[in-house]
Amino acid sequence: MANPSWGMVIDNDKCTGCNACVIACQSENNIPINEEDHFTQRRPIQWIRIERYWEGEFPNVKARFIPVLCQHCADAPCEPVCPVYATYHNDQGLNVQVYNRCIGTRFCANGCPYQVRHFNFWEPEWPDSLENQLNPDVTVRTRGIMEKCTFCVQRIQRTKRESEKNNTSIKDGDRQLNPACVNGCATDALVFGDFNNPESKVSKMKKKELGHGGHGDHSDHDGHEEHDEKRGYHLLEEYGTHPSVVYLKKVDYESKTVEKH
């Protein structure tokens, strides 16, 4: 069987901006609590974040949400610039970060157009009450290194191990496999799965919404969009990163327009 190529489909139409995915990620991946100071210093660590944009003039203001996480690009700009191979592409389509190798040049963070790489400016600290909450499967990162979304690689690996042990195949949409953010999403806006498996939900959605199996390269940046059924797009396609995350456009029923960031 071919190696899996993990990926995600994010439906902006379903996103309510509730931030549950952010919290789920935070607790799953041992991310230190972002306090007010972190935000005023512009140093919060959020492997997934909800970007909120206001559209229109008061009183007709609409909030637009777009969850942004590491896109696990096939041609990731962060990979070639790392001098110590702390970030590289593995055979499962994941862009992995090796914490032990990282020396903290922050070159990758500059290379990433999605701004999803985070630097540990401080030594991570938790209140005493949360000390026992830490996930034993996830490394606690020290100060001075980069970290970012892993698609919850620990969950993927655990599921893989168990399925090998039980001689079963990995089920699509298995809650044991899904990253924490997908499990936490109340509206199923986030769907996780294997793009190499044509039967998986993500593959079908991608096929339906993006129109073709390969990485999309639309050249219609000029604003004249085709108003057809297909809502799929990649974030910042003009950088040629070929992400593993497919976004689906927001459908605005009031103005009958399709929103695209």
Rule CB under 8 A: choose which of 10, 82, 177, 191 binds another protein.
Answer: 82
Q: Can you tell me which of 10, 48, 112, 177 binds another protein, judged by CB under 8 A?
A: 112
Does residue number 90 form part of the binding site for another protein (CB under 8 A)? no
3-state secondary structure of 68: strand
Q: Return d(Cα 172, Cα 200) in angstroms, integer.
A: 6
Residue 192: count other Cβ atoms within 10 Å of its Cβ.
Answer: 27
**CB under 8 A: which stretch of 114-122, 128-136, 150-158, 166-174 binds another protein?**
114-122
Q: Which of 90, 115, 157, 187 binds another protein (CB under 8 A)?
A: 115
Q: What is the DSSP string of 128-177?
A: GGGGGGS-TTSPPPPTT-EE---SSHHHHHHHHHHHHHHT-PPPTT-TTT
* CA–CA dist 188, 83 (Å, integer): 38
Q: Going residue by residue from 129 to 168, which x/- string records binding to another protein, judged by CB under 8 A?
A: -------------xxxxx----------------------
36 contacts another protein (rule: CB under 8 A): no
Which x/- pattern, by CB under 8 A, does the window 92-111 give for another protein? ---------xxxxxxx-xxx
Question: Distances in Å between the alpha carbon of 141 and those of 45, 89, 99, 138?
Answer: 12, 20, 7, 9
- Closest by alpha carbon to 246, among 77, 46, 11? 11
Interaction of residue 121 with another protein, rule CB under 8 A: yes
What whole-number distance in Å separates Cα of residue 249 and Cα of residue 13? 6
Using the contact rule CB under 8 A, the part of the chain among 118-126, 130-138, 175-183, 195-203 near another protein is 118-126
8 A C-beta contact, residue 65 and residue 48? no
Smallest gap from Cβ 220 to another protein, in A, equals: 8
Nearer Cβ to another protein (83/173): 83
Residues 46-65 that bind another protein (CB under 8 A): 51-53
Assess contact for 182 and 32: CB atoms under 8 A: no
Contacts to another protein by CB under 8 A:
41-43, 51-53, 68, 75, 77, 80-85, 101-107, 109-115, 118-123, 142-146, 217, 219-222, 236-241, 261
